[in-house]
Amino acid sequence: MPISNIIGFDDCPFERSHTGNVNVIGVVCAQTRLEGVLRTHVRKDGANATTKLEQLIWACKFAPTLQLIMLQGVALAGFNVVDAHKLSDKLELPVLIIARRAPKLEKIKSTLLNRVAGGQRKWDLIESLGAMEACAGVYVQRVGIDLATSAEVIQRTTLHGRIPEVLRMAHLIAGGVTTGQSRGRT
């Protein structure tokens, strides 16, 4: 049975100088049809993203039907890195992390280790996912889902461009509720 019910997350825009919490929007789609919108918040550059996503998903009415978690990048609100293995284990759902282009890992590592509290732990979480793999026109890291299934899900849930609708919608909603209008590409 193909994966249909997906929850995708993106963080809301924030100023570089911002401290404190940043809102995160979750969108639930059945294929490409919007089923629901959720909201939580995580600490900018903090360490609570995994827990906050887990709590939000467990508490939502969509939890029983979800089949996949999608993230636009492994970190929310700057460098609040999601422990994708833990999230997958706790919720018994695969996690698919998507990026438009391969990240500059050396720059990320340097920033984490030299400028971010808990940087080594966060870098270890990123490293535990392995290198990003080219897949269906994007790059992915994955937990609990194989590369072929990942490609099939991305292709089936992307209408225009390269990013699946669930992430595109989360991005547009996050921008709209924060700045008054959506802008930019996912």
In the chain, where the domains are located: 5-179
Long-range contacts from 145-151, C-beta under 8 angstroms, 24+ separation: 145/68, 145/94, 145/95, 145/96, 149/3, 150/96
CA distance 134 to 144: 17
Element (H, E) at 186: none
- Which tens digit of pLDDT belongs to each residue from 25-37? 999 999 999 999 9
What is the model's pLDDT at position 69?
98
Cβ pair 141, 84 in contact under 8 A: yes
- Asked whether the predicted pLDDT for residue 185 surpasses 70, the reply is no
User: Can you give the pTM of this predicted structure?
Assistant: 0.96
CA distance 171 to 183: 9
- Which tens digit of pLDDT belongs to each residue from 127-154? 999 999 999 999 999 999 999 999 999 9
Average pLDDT on 107-112 reads 96
Give the pLDDT band of residue 186 (cuts 50, 70, 90): low
Q: CB neighbours (10 Å) of residue 80?
A: 24
CA distance 53 to 66: 13
Cβ pair 165, 114 in contact under 8 A: no
CA distance 7 to 35: 10
Of 65, 61, 77, 56, nearest to 10 by C-alpha is 77
What are the backbone dihedrals phi and psi of residue 183, each rounded to the nearest 5 degrees, phi first?
-155, 165
- The answer to which of 53-57, 130-134, 148-152, 179-183 has the lowest mean pLDDT is 179-183
Determine what percent of the chain is predicted with pLDDT higher than 70: 98
- Which tens digit of pLDDT belongs to each residue from 71-98? 999 999 999 999 999 999 999 999 999 9
**Domain covering 5-179, topology:** archaeoglobus fulgidus dsm 4304 fold (3.30.2170)
